[in-house]
Amino acid sequence: MKTLNSKWSTIAIMLSAIFLFSSACDQIPEIDPNLIGAENSLINTPTTWEANSVKTIDCALIINSILTIEEGSTIKFTENGSLLIGSSTNAALVADGSAEKPILFTGALSDDEGSWYGISFGANNLSNTTVLKNCTIQGAGKNNQPAITVDNTNISMDSCTVRYCMAEGIDLKNDGGFSNFQHNHIAYCGSYLMAGEPNQLLGLNNNNSFVENLGKNLLIKSGAVSTTGSLTKLNVPYIVLGTLDVLGAELSIEPGVSLLFESNSELKVGEGQYAALIAEGTEQEPIVFGSSAQTPQAGDWMGIGFYSSNSSTKSIIKHAIIEYAGNSSYYDGAIQNNSGFAMENTTLRHSNTNGILCYQDGYFTSFKNNTIGNCAKDPIVIWAENAHSIGLNNTITASAGMGVKIEGSYVTKDVRWIKQSVPYIINGGITITTETGNAKLSIDPGTKLAFQSGVKLYVADNGALSAAGKADSMIVFTSNATTPSSGDWAGIEFLEGTRAGTLLDYCVVEYAGHYDLFNIGISTSNVSITNSIIRHSSKYGIYIHWNDPAYSPTIQNNNYAGNEFDVYYEQ
């Protein structure tokens, strides 16, 4: 029989053993079943992480099947952590949270920017299966990786938040885009909130929201708009890097959109393929084409180019602001025009070169109610044959000696030059003539035409000039020299084929006679010069060439000053 002392001794020995065993267990490392490391970095079979799961990823976890993450789950990433879906094998990620129980992708230790790499969808992603819904992705961007990369595939993204990124929030690469993108919120990124090629940024739903990111907002990468669509108004600007090239498509821009350009960037329409630009803002919500610089300056970006395949019947810029363009390394105008387009109710300003440079085939289908100013060169350059396409009610300002610059060419139709708030600067010889039909140039009262050195205005076969001014609004033909003097330009010459109805009434013609020594030369009877001022010729105010029978133009009620001969009939 055991004594009481021996019984307690036995109990003491047993307790000591239990203690020692427990101490040994504490020294055995516990294996966390929710820790995913290098040894289990592949998911090759369909896998579900159940609702409210907590997983820690300490590797580049490659999904080669379908990974489903249920609502309320938290996926933590160490500094080694990332998620790759469809990089080499067909795969999908179904992260379908709820508004009450969203799914969180975050850093294991903090949500600071760059605490883990990010989530990447590759070309073998199953775009019809993958979905991110009611998810928050935060703290990604280690080594300046995007928080979400979509490479040559599409994903559906609904009611998600992307924030606290070291680099881009979302990067769409190699035609990567969205099958659905709505109710998302992107904020606080070290680089662009979203970056993508032009087609992929068309038609974004305006129920998405973005937090202004110091000029790094929605980046449109250099490339072509080859699908007809629109840039929708969002709450931050689009930024263009490189060339936004509209080719084989029509690009519409919604009212209120800001399209800001990085240095040496441009918008091209119809260079080699049919294209159209339809940029119609409103008075309350103008469209802005401007510089992405925080302190913008003239010449920050190149400009807008309309090329020969641009649709002149569709392209329009209306209720817009175009500013800080004219990078003179390539563009000699904020707008360079090789075809036709409409421009209405638009402000163009702060160009480092010309405002609008029209080449020989460049014209306006409509041009009215525009404001152009603060250009380093002429606000408009256009060829004589198309100058009539400049319409009414424009407010144009220019430095001395600049204005609507007219490049020399033929006027072959019945057209009207409308009085503008700056002179027409005649930069080359103009001939009003046509082989068939009639050509007539009518000039509005109050218009000023300032001619460059040696330039002449001819009226020839089947041509007519109607310069009908008023006593209080005379038409002025003069020199464009800073300090004008006799003989600066070559004058007006009416040749034998001039049509009846040609007239100068209430006009001023001055400082001509460059090489023919007259302000006005006449070889026809079909001219009427009345109520005009003819002055400061190098020799002859009016020179009437010899003919048999003699020419008999109507010349009456004119004033003359500063001419050696006021009216001279050649003998």
List, in order, residues 6 or more apart from 455 with CB less than 8 Å away.
Answer: 408, 426, 427, 428, 429, 430, 489, 490
Lowest mean pLDDT among 48-57, 81-90, 323-332, 401-410: 323-332
| Measured distance CA(462)–CA(102) in Å, rounded | 79
Q: pLDDT of 258-314, one tens digit each?
A: 999 999 999 999 999 999 999 999 999 999 999 999 999 999 999 999 999 999 999
pLDDT tier, 35 (very low <50, low <70, confident <90, very high otherwise): confident
**End-to-end CA gap in the chain:** 166
**pLDDT higher at 175 or 22:** 175
Beta bridge partners of 340: 363
Over range 91-99, report the average pLDDT: 97
| Measured distance CA(465)–CA(433) in Å, rounded | 10
Q: Which pLDDT belongs to residue 32?
A: 59
pLDDT at 330 over 90: no
Q: Which pLDDT belongs to residue 5?
A: 44
Over range 29-56, report the average pLDDT: 82
Closest CA to 408 of 343, 452, 353, 342: 452
| Measured distance CA(198)–CA(182) in Å, rounded | 18
| Measured distance CA(397)–CA(92) in Å, rounded | 60
Cα–Cα separations (whole angstroms), residue 496 to 406, 462, 518: 25, 10, 17
Burial 548-558 (b: 16+ CB within 10 A, else e): eeebebebeeb
| Measured distance CA(427)–CA(405) in Å, rounded | 6
Q: Which pLDDT belongs to residue 188?
A: 96
pLDDT at 84 over 80: yes
Q: pLDDT of 550-564, one tens digit each?
A: 999 999 999 999 999
| Measured distance CA(225)–CA(251) in Å, rounded | 7
| Measured distance CA(488)–CA(468) in Å, rounded | 24
pTM of the predicted structure, to 2 decimals: 0.91
Q: Which pLDDT belongs to residue 16?
A: 39
**DSSP letters along 30-82, please?**
PP-TTEE-GGG-EE-S-EEE-TT-EEEE-SEEEESSEEEE-TT-EEEE-TT-E
Name the strand (E) or helix (H) holding 10: helix 4-26
List, in order, residues 6 or more apart from 108 with CB less than 8 Å away.
Answer: 56, 58, 76, 77, 78, 81, 115, 116
Residue showing tokens 């819904």: 133
Q: Which pLDDT belongs to residue 18?
A: 30
Cβ(545)–Cβ(521) below 8 Å: yes
For the chain, the average pLDDT equals 93
For residue 473, what is the DSSP state?
A: B
| Measured distance CA(280)–CA(345) in Å, rounded | 10
pLDDT tier, 324 (very low <50, low <70, confident <90, very high otherwise): very high
pLDDT at 355 over 90: yes
Reading the block at residue 326, the tokens are: 């004219």
Pairing of the two strands 404-407 and 414-417: unpaired
Tell me the one-letter amino acid at 52: N
Burial 527-545 (b: 16+ CB within 10 A, else e): bebebbbbbbbbbbbbbbb
Reading the block at residue 188, the tokens are: 């606080």
Q: pLDDT of 185-225, one tens digit each?
A: 999 999 999 999 999 999 999 999 999 998 899 999 999 99
Q: Which pLDDT belongs to residue 33?
A: 63
Closest CA to 192 of 173, 205, 206, 174: 173
Cβ(465)–Cβ(497) below 8 Å: no
Q: What angle do CA 335, 338, 344 make, to 5 degrees?
A: 50
Q: pLDDT of 460-494, one tens digit each?
A: 999 999 999 999 999 999 999 999 999 999 999 99
404 three-state secondary structure: strand
pLDDT at 20 over 50: no
pLDDT tier, 13 (very low <50, low <70, confident <90, very high otherwise): very low
Cβ(259)–Cβ(198) below 8 Å: no
Q: pLDDT of 541-552, one tens digit each?
A: 999 999 999 999
Q: pLDDT of 388-430, one tens digit each?
A: 999 999 999 999 999 999 999 999 999 999 999 999 999 999 9
Q: Which pLDDT belongs to residue 38?
A: 74
